[in-house]
Amino acid sequence: MHLVVGLGNPGKTYQQTRHNVGFMVVDQLAATHSIAVTKKRFDCLWGTGDIGRHRVLLAEPQTFMNRSGQAVAAIMAYFKLAVQELLVIHDDLDLDFGKIKIVRGGGTGGHKGVRSIHQALEEDRYLRVKVGIGRPKYDESAEGYVLSPWYDDQRNLVAEIVDAAAAAVTAIFTDGLEKAMTAVNAGDSLLSAS
């Protein structure tokens, strides 16, 4: 079984913010693959199902971003999952808006949810699907930017970005990691393509 975690913050206040794009992608995967993400345990909303021929557990930590690692470590321990069976979906300030990138390991890029997972697992070799949110256009802090709703010129593309990220995750399980990485990582951002 593989654990697919979307990072975000719980509650309506954060629902349509950039930092919650991981939750949005998990919601899209759940809808596409008919997986109910309704169980509550391990400080997560979660559910199990299949993507292609792979059994997956979709999860959305409800601990707030800075403590995501606690929830991820708990669910991995309970299901006896190895770090190689973990895939984390999160926003990335350093990627252009709309760019999707699949990576294994690496630094946190300043992402507090990723840092929390690194610390809880004492490991960074898990798979990640990064969703580019770009940098602030205006004079605002990075923290304020990620916790704010999308700019008006971005809002219309969010559904496409979420679909593309969900398709990238699906491709990992249906086409294999190498093929998915090659296809996804070579792609342009949706903003530059439009």
CATH code of 52's domain: 3.40.50.1470
Look up tokens 């990064």; give the residue.
130
Helices 158-175 and 177-185, interaxial angle, to 10°?
150
- Which has the higher per-residue pLDDT, 15 or 187? 15
pLDDT tens digits for range 53-73: 999 999 999 999 999 999 999
Residue 187: predicted pLDDT: 76
Residue 191 has pLDDT above 70, yes or no: no
189 — pLDDT class (breaks 50, 70, 90): low
* Catalytic residue (choose from 2, 19, 90, 118): 19
Backbone angles phi, psi at 90, to 5 degrees: -150, 160
pTM over 0.85: yes
* Residue 67 lies in domain: 2-193
pLDDT tens digits for range 102-114: 999 999 888 999 9
The arithmetic mean of pLDDT across residues 150-167, rounded, is 94
- CA dist 22 and 6 (Å) reads 4
Close Cβ partners of 34 (under 8 Å, ≥ 6 residues apart): 49
Residue 137: predicted pLDDT: 87
pLDDT tens digits for range 10-44: 999 999 999 999 999 999 999 999 999 999 999 99
User: What three-state secondary structure class fits 98?
Assistant: coil
Look up tokens 């400080």; give the residue.
43
The arithmetic mean of pLDDT across residues 99-128, rounded, is 94
The arithmetic mean of pLDDT across residues 72-93, rounded, is 97
Number of domains the chain is built from: 1
Cβ–Cβ under 8 Å, residues 90 and 131: yes
- Does 19 participate in catalysis according to the annotation? yes
Residue 192: predicted pLDDT: 45
190 — pLDDT class (breaks 50, 70, 90): low
Q: Which has the closest alpha carbon to 22: 175, 133, 177?
A: 133
User: What three-state secondary structure class fits 114?
Assistant: helix
Residue 74 has pLDDT above 80, yes or no: yes
Residue 188: predicted pLDDT: 61
Q: Which has the closest alpha carbon to 104: 85, 128, 82?
A: 128
Average pLDDT, the chain: 93
